[in-house]
Amino acid sequence: MNRNKNFKTIVMLSALFLLVSVFVADAAEFVIFHTSDTHGSIAAHDDPTARETPKPLIGGFAALKSVMNKYKSDPAYSNSRFLYFDSGDMFQGTPIVDRTKGSVMIDLMNQMPLNATTLGNHEFDYTFEMLAEQMKCAKYSLICCNVFNKKTNKPIEMSIPYAVYAHEGKKIGVIGFSAPETPLITFARNVKDLYFKEPADVIEPLISTLKKAKVDFVIALSHLGHERDLKLARDIEGIDLILGGHSHTLKKDITYAGPNNTPIVHSGASCENTSVVTVNIDDCGNNSVRMVSIPLLVDEVGEDKHIKAATDEYLFELNKEMKRVIGESKINLYRGISGGNSPEGTFISEAMRHCSGADIAFTNFGGVRQPLYKGKITIESIFLVQPFDNCIEILDMTGLEVKDLAERAISNKAVEISQDDIAENLKVFNQEVSGTKLKFAGNYGYLYPAGLIITFDPTKEPMKRVTKITTDTGKELEDNKIYKVAFSDFVANGGDGYGVLRTFKNRTKTDLLIRDAMIKYIGELGTITTKPAPTMINLKLTQKDLE
């Protein structure tokens, strides 16, 4: 045995180990859990994308906390700093968050624990004053740089424009911002004392501030939506990572965009998935980002017993009311793609029309929240479809005014269906699509009618796209005839860009919630057996239901 050779080998290996140790010591690793658009989904629920019956359970904070626990107990991450960020829209969407006006989310996020969130547009649904009161209990940071108080011309007091997190001598700066179109997509009265700046106008100076403070890595905590995050990456220098929300986009891999290949992460909605992002920063400025998307399937990831107990306590009494069966459906009703026909949207509008006595009714795209699945229909099923406390409001409109409204509803930018659209529609709505859709974010919300059939060509010039519009009995709309037209009070009072509707004087505000109209309508039907006939016919879009 050559002891001298073995000794040299040991010395060389020891030196290599020391070199690796020094390299690791000089690097800092941050492990970031990311969610967005949780919308009150505190507990596990049926997986909406599953085709099997019964559907597996997915989501909830107990499942998310179980994933966090596993990472934190893994020796491979013993030198990492763990952070949890959310990109907004915690409020609105389930009975429990509505019943507590958001406080349940703050309590559970405190227990997770959450490090920071930004403001989603739905955080204002219970009024800004209620949000300010609820946030007094938050133990995490609210990071938002672009929402200002009209009276003071300063950022709202409950928020900070950025935060810095340090580990092993390295610093991460996080800048948060909300959707500037929020005043158009929530009740104006809820944000009457606020104004929203374009994020780009505020972000660049803050990046400079962070760089001067020797921050090594800048994260944008964004509630703009995936398409606008792509633009942000193209337009603004100095962002090292975008954690996005608002569009409910689920990306299983990092998207790279802009001149610097800025990584963008979107984690879906309803607390059904979490993105686990690992950021490594070394002394040479060689930052690296990697990500894994984890479906929060309860059978696979388990549930943290303490968070499970907390959510069960919140839901115990409420579930007795929510599980009451009101009817049955033999079919699935889906919202579908923007710019297409929607059996579910038309069904909601038909319930509004039936229960209000209106001639025509419209439901906005953003107001259709979850599919209505075949099987027993419960109060909870309807609440998930229509979580908003929106009442039906009826306006007197001439046929000419209805035609103008229809043109506005289809005036958003037309774009070709992408591979992502095809995959998402297939997974979420079990539908094959091709052709041209309308962008979701635009000047106006897309509308689904009942009592009307609207045929249009999205490739034509905006406000000249309708090729045919008739009543559901095939009659032409009479320009000077007065029609009673039902909307949600949100749309009737200018929401989703329809400020023109505020000018209509002859209106009737009912006390009937849209979800109560659905409950009444389904109760009278007993069983839903067929899909409504198409009411939005896009001549450049092909939709094929696979069920």
Q: What is the DSSP string of 396-447?
A: EEEHHHHHHHHHHHT-SPEEEPPHHHHHHHHHHH-EEEEEEEE-SSSSS--E
The owner of tokens 């049955």 is: 328
Looking at residues 7-23, what average pLDDT do you find? 38
SS3 36: coil
Looking at residues 391-402, what average pLDDT do you find? 98
Question: Where does residue 247 fall: left (phi above 0), alpha (psi -120 to 50 degrees), or beta otherwise?
Answer: alpha
Model pTM score: 0.84
Split at pLDDT 50, 70, 90, the class of 26 is low
What gap in Å lies between CA 132 and CA 115, rounded to an integer? 18
Which of 48, 36, 35, 34 is closest to 384 using CA atoms?
A: 48
Within 10 Å of residue 245's Cβ, how many Cβ atoms? 31
- Residue 127, pLDDT score: 94
Kind and range of the H or E run holding 467:
strand 466-471
Looking at residues 367-382, what average pLDDT do you find? 93
What gap in Å lies between CA 277 and CA 297, rounded to an integer? 19
CA angle in degrees (0–180, nearest 5) for 328-334-337: 170
What gap in Å lies between CA 265 and CA 65, rounded to an integer? 20
User: Are the CB atoms for 531 and 547 separated by under 8 Å?
Assistant: no
User: Are the CB atoms for 491 and 498 separated by under 8 Å?
Assistant: yes
- Residue 340, pLDDT score: 97
**Phi, psi (deg, nearest 5) at residue 83:** -135, 150
- Residue 442, pLDDT score: 84
In this structure, which amino acid lies at residue 39?
H
Q: Tokens in use for 5?
A: 């050779």
Looking at residues 93-120, what average pLDDT do you find? 96
Split at pLDDT 50, 70, 90, the class of 19 is very low
3-class SS string, 235-283: HCCCCCEEEECCCCCECCCCEEECCCCEEEEEECCCCCEEEEEEEEECC
Q: Cα 389 from chain centroid?
A: 18
Domains assigned to the chain: 26-314 (3.60.21.10), 325-545 (3.90.780.10)
Which of 34, 135, 38 is closest to 91 using CA atoms?
A: 38
Question: Where does residue 201 fall: left (phi above 0), alpha (psi -120 to 50 degrees), or beta otherwise?
Answer: alpha
What gap in Å lies between CA 355 and CA 13, rounded to an integer? 80
136 secondary structure, DSSP code: G
Given a cut of 60, is residue 110 above it in pLDDT?
Answer: yes
Given a cut of 90, is residue 14 above it in pLDDT?
Answer: no
Given a cut of 50, is residue 467 above it in pLDDT?
Answer: yes
Kind and range of the H or E run holding 484:
strand 482-488
SS3 222: strand
Split at pLDDT 50, 70, 90, the class of 18 is very low
Q: Does residue 113 have a cis peptide bond before it, meaning omega lies within 30 degrees of 0?
A: yes
Split at pLDDT 50, 70, 90, the class of 9 is very low
**pLDDT averaged over the chain?**
93
Q: Tokens in use for 333?
A: 């009703």
Q: Tokens in use for 118?
A: 């930004």
Find all residues with CB under 8 Å of 57, minimum gap 6, and list them. 44, 45, 46, 47, 297, 298, 299
Q: Tokens in use for 239?
A: 């962002």
SS3 539: coil
Strands of 298-426 (E only): list them. Answer: 325-329, 360-364, 375-378, 391-398, 414-416
Given a cut of 80, is residue 114 above it in pLDDT?
Answer: yes
Kind and range of the H or E run holding 226:
helix 226-235
Kindly report, residue by residue over 314-351, the tens digit of the pLDDT.
999 999 899 999 999 999 999 999 999 999 999 999 99
Looking at residues 35-63, what average pLDDT do you find? 94
Within 10 Å of residue 206's Cβ, how many Cβ atoms? 20
SS3 196: strand
Kindly report, residue by residue over 154-193, the tens digit of the pLDDT.
999 999 999 999 999 999 999 999 999 999 888 888 999 9
Kindly report, residue by residue over 444-463, the tens digit of the pLDDT.
999 999 999 999 999 999 99
Given a cut of 90, is residue 285 above it in pLDDT?
Answer: no
- Radius of gyration of the chain, Cα coordinates, nearest whole angstrom: 25
CA max distance for the chain: 106
User: Are the CB atoms for 294 and 273 separated by under 8 Å?
Assistant: yes
Q: Tokens in use for 404?
A: 């103008």
